[in-house]
Amino acid sequence: MGARSEQSGLRLGDSLADHLAATLDGELRTQLTGAILAMADAATVIAALVARGPLGGALGCDTGGLNADGDTQKTLDVLSNDAVLEALNMTETAYFASEEEEAILTLHPRGALAVAVDPLDGSSNIDVNVSIGTIFSIFPASPGGASASFFRPGSEQLAAGYFVYGPHTALVLTTGQGVNLFVLDQDLGVFCFARSALSIPLEAREFAINSSNYRHWFKPVQTFIDDCVAGREGTRGKDFNMRWVASLVAETHRIFTRGGVFLYPADRRPGYERGRLRLLYEAFPIAMLAEQAGGGAIDGFQRILDKTPGELHERTPLFFGSSRKMGIIASYHVDASDRLGQAPLFGRRGLFRT
């Protein structure tokens, strides 16, 4: 069926189940396989809902309710959460954490895994037919219970991935052995191996940020973006393009495809002082994927995977992409006084120009 992957021995078109059988090992191999395949089953259901668009009803309409973190719920948010929960209930998952749930749910107390999910990322884009997705993170269940299973450093994840519902439905997955791409075969209803060893290019000339919030940013981020916008005449010495889709999975998929850097900083607005993305089920899985692909992920001051959540829906700033760009962004935050919005020590000197 095509060229064989040197990493796993699989061929183009081999199933996700075959890939997991060929690559996973360790005492949690069976449980981890079950959880990942359950997520794929849920994503297949969600992809079918997304594909029907308006024919499936008002999926992008507000339900009239708020999720546990205060964001307006869309109909498809709720349906996606139900699909994931139903699928994981059939596995050895002990604990389930979701953006759409107020608290951690216990599914099977003696289960081996804890799964955290953003069931539908980018739901504001449902009605405009822009790529949206599902993000997930898998930890070993802790003997200490539900909280201990999730309130731990991101470096302890067993696996992480996202599904993107676009022109085709794709899964980008890591189990700690690099990053692989799978595509949903609509005829078979199965995710099939498409590419191994995805990597984030070291050099790129794209950045993704919502520039409408420029006036609210703290000085380090303003300075970094100013230097990018200045182009070849500025301290960076090259021209950059800006992208912003307002869908984390869409931004991530582009960066995995052709490089670049994503920035969602903290800012001065009420509720944004500690960032906006959720640490557990958005930043952790994206950070694991980024590092496994040779990139990096930081909050401006700290490696994302070194952070430990103190609460279920804790927020964080998130910067990820090229490892070299992460070093540059960190240099703009070099002085701890930047937290107060003061000028970075080396912000405009160009000492870290590449």
* Phi/psi of residue 324, nearest 5 degrees: -65, -40
Query: How far does the chain reach from its first CA to its final CA, in angstroms?
Result: 42
Q: What is the pLDDT of residue 337?
A: 46
Residue % of the chain over a pLDDT of 90: 78
Mean pLDDT calculated for residue range 167-177: 97
- Asked if residue 152 lies in contact with residue 308, where contact means CB atoms within 8 angstroms, the answer is yes
Residue-wise pLDDT for 298-323, tens only, equals: 999 999 999 999 999 999 999 999 99
Beta bridge partners of 278: 315
Q: What is the pLDDT of residue 70?
A: 59
**Domain chopping of the chain, boundaries:** 16-195, 206-340
pLDDT at 161 over 70: yes
Q: How confident is the model at residue 68 (pLDDT cuts 50, 70, 90)?
A: low
For 212: left if phi > 0, alpha if psi spans -120 to 50, otherwise beta; the answer is: alpha
Q: To which CATH superfamily is domain 16-195 assigned? A: Fructose-1,6-Bisphosphatase, subunit A, domain 1 (3.30.540.10)
34-48, 104-118, 227-241, range with the lowest pLDDT: 227-241
- Catalytic positions: 71, 77, 99-100, 118, 120-121, 282
How is residue 244 written in tokens?
A: 């912003």
Mean pLDDT calculated for residue range 209-228: 96
Q: What is the pLDDT of residue 338?
A: 43
DSSP state of 339: G
Residue-wise pLDDT for 256-298, tens only, equals: 999 999 999 999 999 999 999 999 999 999 999 999 999 999 9
> Domain 206-340 belongs to what architecture?
3-Layer(aba) Sandwich (3.40)
Q: What is the pLDDT of residue 66?
A: 56
Q: How confident is the model at residue 348 (pLDDT cuts 50, 70, 90)?
A: very low
Average pLDDT, the chain: 89
How many CA atoms lie less than 13 Å away from 326 in the CB half-sphere?
Answer: 23
Angstrom distance (rounded) from CA 160 to CA 180: 11
Q: What is the pLDDT of residue 248?
A: 97
* Phi/psi of residue 185, nearest 5 degrees: -80, 110
Q: What is the CA radius of gyration of the chain?
A: 20
Q: What is the pLDDT of residue 15?
A: 97
What pTM was estimated for this model as a whole? Answer: 0.91
Q: What is the pLDDT of residue 335?
A: 54
Q: Which amino acid is at 55?
A: L
- Asked if residue 16 lies in contact with residue 37, where contact means CB atoms within 8 angstroms, the answer is yes
Q: What interhelical angle do 248-258 and 284-292 show, nearest 10?
A: 10
Residue % of the chain over a pLDDT of 70: 88
